[in-house]
């Protein structure tokens, strides 16, 4: 499975911020596409759903909260 959008298109349109706990450590940092895929354990289908939601949103920010305790914010750049 592959991404529906190119990494250059995603990085050109959004700043991606991840907040929450990963493996017991608190994180609050900006990540790129590859960093987002690593944090989500390689779940490309989940990344595609989040990106579809971000590209279809009308506002300046799209916040996605996952059950695993992560909050992913897509800021329009």
**Percentage of residues of the chain with pLDDT beyond 70:** 100
Distances (CA, A) of 41 to 13, 23, 38: 23, 12, 5
Domain assignments of the chain as residue spans, ordered by start = 7-76
Which residues pair with residue 29 across a beta bridge?
Answer: 18
Task: Using DSSP, state whether 9 is helix, strand or coil.
Answer: helix
Residue 45 CB partners (closer than 8 Å, separation 6+): 1
For 38-59, write each residue's pLDDT tens digit.
999 889 999 999 999 999 999 9
pTM here is 0.91
9-35 average pLDDT score: 94
């Amino acid at each position: 499975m592959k991404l529906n959008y190119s990494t250059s298109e995603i990085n050109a349109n959004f700043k991606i911020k991840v907040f929450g706990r990963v493996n017991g450590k608190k994180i609050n940092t900006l990540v790129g596409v590859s960093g987002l895929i690593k944090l989500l354990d390689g779940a490309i289908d989940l990344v595609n759903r989040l990106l579809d939601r971000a590209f279809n949103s009308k506002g300046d920010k799209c916040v996605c909260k996952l059950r695993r305790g992560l909050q992913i914010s897509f800021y329009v750049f």
